[in-house]
A = this chain, B = another copy of it.
Amino acid sequence: MLAYRAQPNPDAMLDRALAGVIASGGSLGDSQPRQVEFFSPNAQIYAQGDRATALYQVEYGVVRLFRLLSDGRRQICAFHVAGEVFGFADGQHHLFAEAVCDAAVRVFRGPIREDKSLLTLAMRELVRAQDHLLVIGRQTACERIAAFMVDLYDRLGHEQHFELAMSRTDIADYLGLTIETVSRVFSKFRSKGYIKLHGTRGVDILQIEALRGICA
Contact = CB atoms under 8 A, between A and B. Distances in A.
Interface of A: 65, 67, 69-71, 73-75, 77, 88-90, 94-95, 112-116, 118-120, 122-127, 129-134, 136-139, 173, 175-176, 216
A126 B124 contact: no
Contact of A137 (B113, B124, B176): B176
A71 B138 CA distance: 11
Which residue among A65, A74, A120, A122 has the maximum number of chain B CB atoms within 10 Å of its CB?
A: A122
Given A126-B126, A216-B70, A90 B120 contact: yes
Nearest to A130: B77
Contacts of A67: 130-131, 133-134
Contacts of A74: 138
A70 B139 CA distance: 12
